[in-house]
Structure 1
Amino acid sequence: MIDEITDFLFGLKMTIISGIFLLIAVIFMIFGIDTPIYLNPAWGTVIISGIPMLLLAMTRLIREKWISSALLIAIAMVASLLIGEIFAAGEVAWIMALGALLEDWTVERAKKGLRNLINLTPQTGRRIVDGVEEVVPVDEIKIGDTLRILPGESVPVDGEIINGTSSLDQSIMTGESLPIDKGVGDEVFCGTMNMYGAIDIRATSLGENSSLQKLIDLVKAADEKQAPTQRIADKWATWLVPVALIIAIVAWLVTGNIERGVTVLVVFCPCALILATPTAIMAAIGQATKYGVLIKSGEALETLGALNTLVFDKTGTLTYGNLEVSDVISLKEDLSDLDLLKLTASCEKLSEHPLAKAVVNNAKEAEIDIEEPKDFEMYPGKGVTCNNSYGTIYAGNSKFLIENDIDVNVDSYLDQLKNEGKASILVALNGEVVGLIGLSDVIREDSKGMIENLHELGTETILLTGDNTETANYFASQVGIGKVYGNLLPQQKLDWIEKLKSEGKKVCMIGDGVNDAPALKTADVSVAMGSVGSDVAIEAADIALLGDDIGKIPYLKKLSNSTLFTIKANIAISMTINAVAIVCSVLGLLNPVTGAIVHNAGSCLVVLNAALLYDRRFDDSIKKIDSENVEHSHYHFHNDGEHSHSHDGVKIIDEIQTDNGVKHMHVHKHALDRQSCEPYHN
């Protein structure tokens, strides 16, 4: 009941009403309007802002054994009331309420992300009993039950495939950009999505033991581990309160004037200290918002400047998370790279697999006329086959081609693509392997420069990813990250964050997927990609990059450093003003009313200094969110040359003839404002 009353009176509407009463009292003082003490408008401020502040101080002192800044302000307020200085009592109470309101705005955390994560848990499953399929609630599924998952459905419980093959989107668990091919004997996780063929599984774990529920529990546990923060003034209140009381009592006893003692309490109130942190943080948050960065926690902004270790996820963070054709490798002299791309796109045209879509989209962008396939068949988790004007085509993995009696002897090319972190499609024409298509996630153009800037700022960078180690090492080498850990599940990412923190490092985690949520919650500060990131990751993180501009990470660190400097400067200003005002109070140069005015002036000065942070420039290369560069991607081939150029000079495709007759087609790309091209897979 007490907490509800306090929250209501400390709310925005009541704080505004309280401020209006105080303003009226000031107007009465200016124009010399005398009113009986019991009709002083400042009583409204005392009642609205003073009573909850008094309740808060007593609650913290008695229930929590916590000497807070609210206790000192409550003492000053009560002392002012006892000698009839209603305005002074109202002023210190209102400043306290305003500071608390600003602080609450900067640290408020939404819980929607955890609810979204819980909603990912499937509610029903298709159970097979004696050959009969029935849809049952997940709670009725038992270990050992046989379940059928159709294409497009989520896996209801952890299990093992006992019949069928398919590809499953496991990004919720591992963050991997590609669906994973699964067959009989392979493990599947609760909440992952079956992309293609129907599969039957045997349930192996249920309810709280499922992988998705463990992920939910990790997020909850990480959230509960976060200790409540205290304002700077509250941290100092342990010695502020006794010092203020001692000085006030000594001033009263030495001078024999109780008014001087009360004045000391009024000017000693740490209201400027209370405003020092939230006002600077609010200005910094406003500054960041202009440039497309949403900072949800003032504590995160304070902590960011002290960080020495930044941990990155790969897919969707350092990369775009979208597969693109990076290499077209023809193994036949009489088959050009363009023909290989054309016949493969024809065979993949009716497939829904992400690799197939990437090939088809690449052919469309190249303005290639894609032929309609005949006798198309898709084999989930393996590949596709069809007939067209070129002949009979098989496109898929090596296992698929071997099963169809096609000799596969291209291990060197497969190993090369794998070492470069690329997926591959083997293409066979009329029973013979004729080429490979390499596909790669695309690294963000500013990832490498961002990592270099962080290293210049003395920050260590680490890559934690669910992708395989070869892929992780390749991408890390491209952007300049030295420490790499791959094949990680959510629990393992969280374990690494805790290990780094146990070594005394201040850790920032940057990610975008549901699987990153526990690590994001556990890190000292967390950053999520706002546009491509999952809702769960965005809500779990302290900071969201609305434009997915990873290059703003160094800007954030500079902003945090400046914010910390501003906070310290505000503290120095407030302490200096308080010290001078205390001396003046002891000497009788200030009374409770003039002391309250000086006290208020100090608070205003702190606010004005913090406001200067809003328009400060930290990096001329950082552009506002509404002026982002838009990158084009349309290009075409010239039929009469070895090189093909794009419209607007954005993408270039180079066809290189090697000594052994094997031709490679490499796709390049660069932003409109750059002078030189860089490899597309870089």
Structure 2
Amino acid sequence: MNYRWRIDLWIFIACMVGLLTGAVLWLTGWRTQAQWAWLAGSVPAVVVLLLGMIAALRRREAGVDVLALVSIGGALLLQQELTAAVIAVMLASGHLLESFAERRAGREMAALLERAPRSARCYRDGVLVDVPLEEIRSGDRILVRHGEILATDGTVLAERAVLDESTLTGEPLPVTHLRGATLRSGCVNAGDAFDMEATARPADSAYSQIVRLVAAAQRTKAPSARLADRYALWFVPLALGLAGMAWAISGDPLRALAVVVVATPCPLILAVPVAVVSAISRCAQRGILVKGGGALEALAAARTLFFDKTGTLTGGQAQLIGIGNAGVVDDDALLGLVASLEQFSHHVIAKAVVAAAQARAITLGSVSDVSEVPGSGVQGKVDGRWLVIGAHDYVSRHVDLPSSVAELLERTNADGTAVVLAAIDGHYAGALLLADQIRVETPRALRLLRRAGIQRIVMLTGDRQEVAETVAVGIGVDVVLAERSPAEKLDAIQQAGVTGPTVMVGDGVNDAPALAAATVGVAMGVRGATASAEAADIVLLADRLDRLAEALVIARRTRQIAMQSVLAGMGMSLLAMLAAAVGFLPPLYGALLQEAIDVAVIVNALRVLRVRPLRIFRYRMAPEDVARLRADHQRLAPVLDHLGTVIARLPEMPSAEVPPVLVDLDTHLREELLPHESADDRELYPVIADMLGGDDPLAAMSHSHREIFRLHRLFSAGVARLAAQPEDVATRRELQRLLYALDTVLRLHFAQEEEIYQSLSAE
């Protein structure tokens, strides 16, 4: 990348020096020397054009550079060295603009192999030493510490190993491997340190195979044709033919010269690069790194979009989504106790549990006598109470679990939810449910992409079919291709590419080959998968999927403006050529007019800097206001958890216990939830409605409020009836139905509000 920038810079300097030197010599009376200076200034551009034309002819292609070469050559043949020098400077400046944009993008990219480890901790004669990768052989014993990347493929020598395989498989939750299991390079140790035995050299490992797939895909990927190239070929014979006709009819070579002068391809040479560089700058302002103009032009033409799931459509990290309480302690107490013990675990799920407790401002307790089996569970004392938490096999060895736990595990396994079971003082206390949640902006981003012109959206993931389909339902995905290896992802992209331009969006190492093979590869760069960022053409530095819709809108608007500039410039040049052909425009005035045309198309191309992203509203919400609104939702999360717990326990609860539990729930809803919804409708919604615009943009949201109030009134009345008649089975069933409806409406309503807040966020 740097070498191209240096070459283009030196060519531009040489052309500019030749032009300026010739001008000085001409003004001082050295006319012959001036012509030689202009000729010398044209030579570098001619050499570059000839080399580029030879390479293009080998590919059976031609474009705007051919037109430039004909123009410079024609000017030199007609002894118009000044015209040739001017065209050379314009050509060199256009190339310099393009290479500058690519160099600027390249500085932001880390090398492909930076993510790969450079060495590994191997045992040599019983002593741990750092061994360079090239010296590792099959059979070596390697220590993999917490957070380290596996340098090569191997087998587990410890009792178990807990790995984060999301960058390879798309599985967002950590995977536990027992002794003797096969491990793949590129995974991250998410648990305690363990020993493994290498089964392959690093050069033959899974990660290296993915790197080779990336390289092969990049070699076979056809370069995108530039927009200007599509208009160049017909303009060349038209200009030369018109010049020849003018000369033949009039017998005056000056008319042909005038036609050639005003036919110089400066609108083609400058308009597209200026528009593209402006678009790249506009994208950078929005946290979108575009590596080159070809990627932007190809994005504008794309109609098929492929998405990875984990880290792209979803957040890529486990989050607490619910608490299944068995009634030993309340929800906050259960979360606080489990989080207190999880502080002492390296497990990825443990960190998510602690983060959830901290988000709810739950004070963690005093912990002692901690014992952990990595990947299975933890036990210890928290504030004097004995806790056992972890997976089913681990907890069941210490306490008897009810049959409802098996039903819970069977239900959650289908959608990829992780379950942390908890027992307190020898009694089953409940479960924490964690999952990789769909990004808040994902549904809106997909709608915006369709609005911007995408016709087919495909989820392409290595995760399980049932998990992928769970995520795909309701977010607007047309096709789900799950359980795909990197090679299978590559095949899917290549097959789709036969019918037209494709876009692939991903963030993991396993996405890198597909990103390289797609017409446009887009990487979610925040999570740091360097292989995918290196293979991609566009990197979303802002960790928001809706920025892709912005990039698409900017790309399409850029193409429109560039086409306007090209067609307007060529149209004005054509009119000037006709005027020159009939003798109304001498060569000198033709040159001045051509410069005016150049300025006009450049000014028009600069309008790209003012392109407004699709998601911009009339007003923006300050980040602190968005944070406050989300904090309000977070404070209500325990109420939703309590509601879910009551729904789960109600069918098995003794009749005498039901009324007090429902009265307590009714109190929480009346004192915490309803005032929040009432204040939103009265104070917040009018403000947001002004930001969104339109007559009544939040009508549906206000209707949800009315439905919440209606369901609560019915529930409250039913609780009063059940308190008077605890054995009334019909009322109990009706209350359970109302709670299901209320829970569904509330969770949908909160999700809709979160999406609105996200769309109005200034960040």
Task: Please give the TM-score of this superposition, normalised by the length of structure 2.
Answer: 0.77
1:396 aligns with 2:383: no
Kindly, what percent of the aligned residue pairs are identical?
A: 28
State yes or no: 1:563 paired with 2:555: no
Amino acid at match of 2:50: M
Q: Which amino acid aligns with 1:302?
A: E
Label 1:152 to 1:60 Cα distance change in 2 as closer, same or farther (>3 A).
closer
Q: CA deviation at 1:381?
A: 1.2
Cα shift at 1:611: 1.5
| 2:122 paired residue among 123, 126, 131 | 126
Deviation at residue 51 of structure 1 after TM alignment: 0.9
**Is the CA contact 1:280–1:563 (under 8 Å) kept in the aligned structure 2?**
yes
Give the 3 Å change call, closer, same or farther, for CA 472–430 of structure 1 in structure 2.
Answer: same
Letter in 2 for 1:353: H
Q: Which residue of 2 aligns with 1:429?
A: 424
Q: 1:52 aligns with which of 44, 57, 68?
A: 44
Give yes or no for the alignment of 1:543 onto 2:530.
Answer: no
Q: Determine the structure 1 residue equivalent to 2:642.
A: 655
Moved >6 Å (runs of 4+) = 3-6, 22-25, 623-627, 633-636, 649-652, 662-677
- 1:628: Cα distance to partner? 5.6
Matched with 2:608 is: 613
Q: Distance in 1 between matches of 2:506 and 2:620?
A: 20
Question: Per the alignment, do residues 545 and 370 of structure 1 end up closer, same or farther by CA in structure 2, a change over 3 Å counting?
Answer: same
Tell me the residue number matched to 1:317: 312
Q: Point out where structure 2 has 5 or more consecutive residues left out of the alignment.
A: 654-660, 689-697, 702-745, 753-763
| Residue 337 (1) aligns with residue 331 (2) | yes
Listed one character per residue, the Cα deviations across residues 451-480 of structure 1 (whole Å, up to 9, x for unaligned) are: 233344452222223333333222222533
Find 2:502's aligned residue among 498, 507, 532. Answer: 507
Distance 1:579 1:57 in 2: 24
**Which of the residues 274, 280, 292 maps onto 1:297?**
292
Letter in 2 for 1:87: L
Write the letter of the residue equivalent to 1:53.
A
1:204-603 residue pairs with structure 2 within 5 A? 204-234=199-229, 237-238=232-233, 240-332=235-327, 334-389=328-383, 391-404=385-398, 406-407=400-401, 409=403, 410-456=405-451, 457=453, 459-502=455-498, 504-603=499-598
Using the alignment, how far apart are the partners of 1:623 and 1:162 within structure 2?
A: 60
- On the 8 A contact 1:222/1:518 being kept in 2, the answer is yes
- Could you tell which deviates more after superposition, 283-292 or 307-316? 283-292
- How far is the alpha carbon of 1:272 from its aligned partner? 1.1
Q: CA deviation at 1:384?
A: 0.5
**Residue 414 and residue 633 in structure 1: after superposition, are their counterparts in 2 closer, same or farther (change >3 A)?**
farther
Cα deviation digits, residues 465-520 of structure 1 (max 9, x gap): 33333332222225332422333333332232223223x14321122233322222
In the TM superposition, residue 361 of structure 1 has moved relative to its aligned partner by 2.4
Q: CA shift at 1:230, angstroms?
A: 4.8
Residues 440, 681 of structure 1: 8 Å contact kept: no
CA deviations on 1:22-80 (whole Å, 9 max, x unpaired) are 8869xx8xxxx57232254x7655433x1112112333455664765445444443544
Q: 1:380 Cα shift?
A: 0.8
Q: Structure 1: any 5+ residue segments left out of the alignment?
A: 637-643
SS for the counterpart of 2:577 is helix
Distance (Å, rounded) in 2 between the aligned partners of 1:303 and 1:371: 56
Question: What amino acid is aligned across from residue 158 of structure 2 in structure 1?
Answer: N
Cα pair distance change 1:226/1:113, threshold 3 Å:
farther
Are the counterparts in 2 of residues 463 and 485 from structure 1 also a CA contact under 8 Å? yes
In the alignment, the residues of structure 2 paired with residue 328 and residue 4 of structure 1 have an alpha-carbon distance, to the nearest angstrom, of 57
Q: CA deviation at 1:167?
A: 0.7
Provide closer, same or farther for how the CA distance between residues 284 and 483 of structure 1 changes in structure 2, counting only shifts above 3 A.
same
Residues of 2 paired with 1:623 and 1:204: CA distance? 59
Residues 513-557 of structure 1: CA deviation (Å, up to 9, x unaligned): 333222222111122234345344333322233322222333333
Task: After superposition, give the CA deviation of every residue in 1:616-657 in whole Å (9 maximum; x if it has no partner).
Answer: 335363699996677438999xxxxxxx9756x899644122
1:262 and 1:239 mapped to 2: Cα distance? 19
SS in 2 for 1:216: helix
Cross-structure match for 2:694: none
User: What one-letter code is carried by the residue in structure 2 that aligns with 1:47?
Assistant: A
Partner residue, 2:168:
173
Matched, 1:37 2:34: no
- CA distance in 2 between counterparts of 1:245 and 1:308 reads 38
Partner-residue secondary structure (3-state), 2:197: strand
Give the superposition deviation at 1:441.
2.4
The CA deviation at 1:428 is 1.9
In the TM superposition, what is the alpha-carbon distance from 1:210 to its structure 2 partner?
A: 0.5
Q: Following the alignment from structure 1 to structure 2, what is the Cα–Cα distance between the partners of residues 192 and 9?
A: 42
Q: Structure 2: how far apart are the matches of 1:498 and 1:472?
A: 22
Cα 1:612–1:470 change in 2 (3 A) is same
Change (3 A) 1:166 1:90: same
Partner-residue secondary structure (3-state), 1:227: coil
Partner Cα separation in structure 2 for residue 175 and residue 38 of structure 1: 69
Q: CA 1:527–1:625 in 2, change beyond 3 Å: closer, same or farther?
A: farther
Shift of 1:141: 3.2
Which residue of 2 is the match for residue 98 of structure 1?
A: 93
Distance in 1, matches of 2:112 and 2:224, equals: 26
Counterpart CA distance in 1 for 2:65 and 2:616 is 44
Q: Assess, with a 3 A threshold, how the Cα gap between structure 1 residues 481 and 64 changes in structure 2: closer, same or farther.
A: closer
Aligned to 1:7: 7
Indicate the RMSD between aligned Cα atoms, in angstroms.
3.8
2:241, 2:630 → 1: CA distance? 78
Deviation at 1:4, TM superposition (A): 8.9
Alignment match, 2:755 = none
Q: Which moved more, 1:346-355 or 1:466-475?
A: 466-475
CA contact (8 A) 2:521 2:536 kept: yes
**Structure 2 counterpart of 1:475, which letter?**
V
Whichever structure has more strand as a proportion of its residues is 1
